Structures are given as structure tokens and as C-alpha cells.
Structure 1
């Protein structure tokens, strides 16, 4: 699907999400250090466990609202809420107020993404979907790569100005959404925007999600995704610890008597930089190469590549071999990401697509919550033992995908347009 043929909704949101995501990553990586400085490491560690849990609630609420009041309205609520929270952050007079604003920004973002993903699915065909999702993922990762570099300057030296800029950018993006995009929720298309929205009901929300999770294939999909997320989150957790403790300083490049050496923390930075660069450069090419692969084979292969990419690190401390392991792992990431989003788009009924998107995000939230346990295991096990467990988790997720697709009709098609799968 060529960019020029995209719906205006997609074009506006691609550029908007690229810019807002870049600003987000200009402050987000530095918040753990900020809270550690003002509250102490122990308190900061406990405080930072709260946002992922509240993010789960916001994700589910965002999916519910996207299917009840519409994608557009849910995104507008989230974006303008985020703008208010950034303003609170900028003018904060205490660390606790900053913490409240930090939580508010995170919850607004969690509410936004199910509606955003559902809108992409509404506006694309099944054949186009992987490439469009891959394009959005590439834009997001440009922000991931560029944001921290810019943030190391602006967050440290011009924090107030940066947060004011974030407030302004979020507000302007909200205004553009209000004037330039249209509603895509199938049940609202052609109806007056002014019609009163359905009343928000917490009881109805819980009932709807309870029905979704009685969908056996979907529940297995979530479980498999949690296992993959636990493995993938180790890039920032156990892999960082392993590289810091076991990778000595060594020449990366050399010429005659001159050499450039890295090791420990600097080696970890180079590995993560390689991951980000590969994601930006190869998301779209890899998506096109694997476009004709089935969802089943793509998800299984990505889980295997995740596991072996990490597992092979246990056998080397050579930086170039570790780069090779990172290449294998990143290939799994690039194969998996667009497939995950397009699969849910096909699997979910149209009138529950936002809720399925919100429920799908649980795999990342829960995986992120459980993943730090690997750090504790490293106190008792050797690196080979920890990486073996990570490999086992990844292979178990692959087996769960095999089982899940046996429960789904041939080709994974869903022969319905409304109602929940029971």
C-alpha cells in the first residue's frame, strides 16, 4: 500500500505519532534516574511498579471506549489529557506532583493506543495491514532512537522548556486530530457525531472483557505473548546486567597501533543502538519479505529467534559475536510486530476490535511486570542457566502458538462481523 494512497487519517496520525513519540522519549528514559535522585532507589523502585499496573487499566478502558464512543473521541480524550498532564509536569512544585503527572501521561498513552491500532485496522484491508502497521512501528522507533539522544541535552539542561514543548506538541496534535480525522468505528459511520455517546459502565466493561477472555484461542494467544514479552524485556534487564558484568573492554575497531575499545556499560549501549538502527532500517523490508508467510509460521519463527538470539549470548563475550546475536533477536522482533497487530485486526469482530486491541496489549504490560524476576534468578544461577530459562520460555510460547492455530479455522479467518467469540 503506497503512502500517497493512504487515507488522510493515517497520514495525519503517522506524522503526529512520530513527533509525539520522539518528544516522549526525550524525557521518559531519564525518569527512573530522576525519581532515584529525589526519592532514593528503594522508594523509586516501588513507585515505578505502579505505572505498568495502572497502564493495564487504562489500556482496557481505552479499548472499551474505542468500541463504545468511537476511535476518534477516545484518542482526543487521551491526547488532551496528556497535554494537561505535561503542563502539570512542567509547572510541578514538588516531586510528588511530578510523579502524579508522570502516571497521568502514561495512562493517557495507554488509553490512546488501542483506539489508534483499531483505527488503522478499520482503514486497511487484510493484505495492506502488515505493511501499514510496520510503517507506524518504524516511525515509533525513529522516536525511540532520536528521543534519548536529544533528551540527554534538553531534559538535563532545559527541562522546563522541553516539558512546555511537549505540552504544546500534544495540544497541537489533538487539534489536528479534531479537525482532520473522521470516525472509523463501523457502527458510528454515517451517524451524527453529535449523537449522545453510550454511557460508560464499569460493570459493562468488566462483562465485555470477561466474555473476551472466555475465547480460548485468544486467551492462549495472550499467554504466549506474555511469555514472548518476558523474554524480549530482558534486553533492558538481564542482558544489560550480563553485558555489564561479563563483557570486558575490547577493541571494536583497530588500525595499526590505534584502536577503539568498548566493554561493560558502553558495550550494552552499542548493542541497544544496533537494535534501534536495525528496527528503523529494516522493519519495512523484513515485513515485505515475510508478507506472504502465514501468521502462524511468522509468530512461531519470531519466538524461536527471540529465544536463540538471547541464549547464544551465554556462550560468548566477544562484542562482534554479541552483535550477531542481537541481529538474530532483532529479526524475530521485526517479523513479529506487524503480524501481532494485523492478526488481532483479522481475529477480532468489528464491533469489539478496540477491546481486543486493548486486551492484546496486556501481554506486554504483564510481561514487563514479570520480566524483572530474571534479575533475581541471576543471584542463584549462572548466565547459561538464566539464558536457558529464557530460551525455554520462548520455545514454550512457540508451542502455544502451534496449539492456538489448531483451534482456529484454516487460514485463521473469522467468519463473523459482530458479536464475541464464545
Structure 2
């Protein structure tokens, strides 16, 4: 008896071929990023001999240039002179150059320059990449399309971290990791150049004398006057702040404030399981959320964040079962993240006029820059205080989730009302 054949369409949604090509390119690129993500600070402190403070400043400089580049990325993506494809190619070339500079860096200034260039590359990347995905999909399939690309990111990052650890443990060749990272960016650029077409479609202006610069300014003004977008941005900063706590505050909290045997090996195992859950459940969760509106899917994500922060707070109070509580919290966070990321991008893409998707998604990307700028700073300040202050911090996080849910409910009602009005308008014209 022959086994049934498993077709690719059964594993992945029926999306445009270019999206699957982009996902494979992202997987390869994220393998390179995973090579360097956790090992760069160790290398520059322990091998190059820089101070922890100087390395922290140099690595943080990527956030500064990234904020500027996100504005440029939005403008370039919606420009007839650049468009999504050229902006993406430029971002990958800058990222590859940044990795080469990091590979040869031997002082604070070269590390800072490398990270400033990397911030430029990342800032240009996200608006262009997410605009291409939006261009190649219809509204009903965007959640799954963004889920597929995020799945590729998570798999690539995890593979990169594993392979990078193997290389470092057996060879100690830290600089080779940056070279591999640079090559991965160039391979991704080659994939874009050969297999992805430009998706931007310029819209003719009613004003014949309007210049490209004026179109750009008007596009930003229109985006910032979109009340639905601004309402979403208000809560989106909370979401990105929540995600930043997983990478910055929670590992240190488990090590310093939670009783029990939380060795680096156990913490690493718990976070590996967290990442594995994001890979396993990314597409199934996206399919389950397909029947919900974007704000409703985000409300589900927010509730999971609130439950996770509540459980994390418990780990610092109870004396037994801490590892079990921590595992539960990180599991809740994993489902919260994969509920959030596709829905947030799809919501912004749906709000944006087709010719302004780059600008709208650039504003969405700025939320990540803000959240990851504030999150580690506030989390670090809290962890320098007493246990009571830390407990209050986790409780306050749960309270902010309540605010987030309320705002999202309001946004959902607004969008449903606008859609109903638009349908009635179309019906009356018929």
C-alpha cells in the first residue's frame, strides 16, 4: 500500500511564488544573523578586549541609525525612482558591508561604524520587505503570508544560533561568523535580483507639477493624519515593548530574582523551547486567526501577554515550581508573539493606500525601534531595584495589557463601522 503524497500546498498556504522565494531568502539571511546575534557581545568583550559598556553603546547605535533609516525606507519604497525592490537590495548590500566591517573591527569606533551601517540596512529592509508581501497578496491571505515569512525568520535564526555555537565551541573563529553573515546577505540580495519583480505601482497625482519630494511629504502627512493608524501605533508600541522584555529583562530576572536552580543551561533550554514553539505553531495559529479581524487577533495576543506576565510575576514569589511556571510563561509568550506579528503587519497593510504601503509599514517598523529602545532601559532600571519594585513592574505590565485590549476593541468597532458604511455606500450607488 503506497503512502499518500504530501504536497507543498498542504504545508503552506497557496501564496504567490515570489513570497515563498522571499521566505527562503529570509531563512538563509537569518541563519547568518543567528551566527552573530548572541556571539558578537562575547567576542568584542572577551576576544577584542573592549569594555562591556563600550560594546553596549556600539551595539545600541544600530537603533539610532535604524530609526532614521525606517523613515528613508518608507519613502524609498513608495518612490518611483527606488521602489520596493531597489530599497531592499540597498538594505542587503549595506548589511553585508556592515558585517565585513564587524569582521575586521578591533576597536570601539569600527564596531560602532559597523553597527550604524547595520542599523541603516535593517531600517531600509522592513518597510520594503513588508510592502512587497502586501503587494503580492489580497487582504484575506495576508495573515498567513506574513506568518510564512516570520516562520522562515524563526527557523533561520534558530539554525544560525545552533550552528554558530558549534563553530565557536570547536574553532573559536568568531570573525568567520561575520563573514558568513555577510555572505548570507549577499545571497539574499542575489535571490531578490534574480527572482523578485518590482511590485510598486505609482499613482498619478492630480497636480501635474507635484514633484517626487512633494508626493513623499504628502504621503507622510496623510499617514500621520490617519486616525486608525495612529490608534494602532499607540498600542503597537506596547506590543514591541512586551517582546523586548523577553530578550532583555526576563533572562536577567530569572537569574537574579527567582529562587531555584536557574543555571545558564536551564535558561537556554527554556528559551530554546520558546523559539521551537514559535516555529511549530506559527502557521496553525495564523490559520486559526483567519476568521478573526486583525484587532480581534491582536486582542487574543494581548490577553496571552497579560497571562504570561502574571505567571512570570508568580515565579518571583513562590518557592517551588519556578521552572514549571517559567516554562508556562514562555509558552504563553510564544503563542502571543505568533498571534501578534502577522496580524499587526496585515492590519497596517490593509489600512494603507496601495501607493503608500511603504510609508505606513515604516511607521509600523518604528514601533519596534521605540519598543526596543525603551524596553531594555526600563527593564534594566527595574532590575536594579528591590524585589517589591520588580513585582510591581510585572503587575503594571498586566495593567497595560488591559489598556491595550480596550484600545483595540475601540479600533475594531471603528473599522467595522467604516466597512459597513463603505458597503452601504456601494449598495446605494448600485
Moved more, 317-326 or 268-277: 317-326
Q: In structure 2, what is the equivalent of residue 169 of structure 1?
A: 184
In structure 2, which of residues 45, 50, 58 is the aligned counterpart of residue 47 of structure 1? 58
How far off its partner does 1:47 sit?
3.0
Q: In structure 1, what is the equivalent of residue 5 of structure 2?
A: none
Aligned CA RMSD, in angstroms, stands at 2.7
Question: Counterparts in 2 of 1:411-422, with a 5 A limit?
Answer: none
Q: In structure 2, what is the equivalent of residue 114 of structure 1?
A: 127
Change (3 A) 1:205 1:158: farther
Which string of whole-angstrom CA distances, capped at 9 and with x for unpartnered residues, describes residues 4-26 of structure 1? Answer: 95433223211111001111111
Q: TM-score, normalised by structure 2?
A: 0.84
Distance across 1 between alignment mates of 2:176 and 2:55: 25
Moved more, 369-378 or 30-39: 30-39
Q: In structure 2, what is the equivalent of residue 7 of structure 1?
A: 16
**Is residue 2:37 matched to residue 1:33?**
no
Q: In structure 1, what is the equivalent of residue 426 of structure 2?
A: none
Distance across 1 between alignment mates of 2:175 and 2:51: 22
Distance across 2 between alignment mates of 1:313 and 1:300: 20
**8 Å Cα contact 2:296/2:412 also seen in 1:** no
Superposed structure 1 runs of 4+ greater than 6 Å apart: 413-416
Change (3 A) 1:171 1:228: closer
In structure 2, which of residues 350, 359, 382 is the aligned counterpart of residue 346 of structure 1? 350
SS at match of 2:202: coil
Distance across 2 between alignment mates of 1:415 and 1:357: 24
Distance across 1 between alignment mates of 2:135 and 2:314: 46
SS at match of 2:176: helix
Q: Count how many residue pairs are aligned between Structure 1 and Structure 2.
A: 395
Q: In structure 1, what is the equivalent of residue 235 of structure 2?
A: 224
Question: Counterparts in 2 of 1:21-420, with a 5 A limit?
Answer: 21-37=30-46, 38-68=49-79, 69-92=82-105, 94-154=107-167, 157-187=172-202, 201=213, 205=216, 208-249=219-260, 262-316=261-315, 317-372=321-376, 373-378=378-383, 379-380=385-386, 381-410=388-417
How far off its partner does 1:277 sit?
0.5
**8 Å Cα contact 2:238/2:404 also seen in 1:** yes
Distance across 1 between alignment mates of 2:156 and 2:323: 26
How far off its partner does 1:130 sit?
1.1
Moved more, 262-271 or 387-396: 262-271
Q: In structure 2, what is the equivalent of residue 253 of structure 1?
A: none
Distance across 1 between alignment mates of 2:177 and 2:311: 41
How far off its partner does 1:411 sit?
7.2
**8 Å Cα contact 2:58/2:108 also seen in 1:** no
How far off its partner does 1:119 sit?
0.7
**Is residue 2:29 matched to residue 1:20?**
yes
Which string of whole-angstrom CA distances, capped at 9 and with x for unpartnered residues, describes residues 253-288 of structure 1? Answer: xxxxxxxxx524333222211210100111111111
Moved more, 157-166 or 358-367: 157-166
Q: TM-score, normalised by structure 1?
A: 0.85
How far off its partner does 1:46 sit?
3.0
SS at match of 1:408: helix
**8 Å Cα contact 2:88/2:125 also seen in 1:** yes
Q: In structure 2, what is the equivalent of residue 255 of structure 1?
A: none
Distance across 1 between alignment mates of 2:91 and 2:271: 30
Distance across 2 between alignment mates of 1:297 and 1:288: 14
SS at match of 1:314: helix
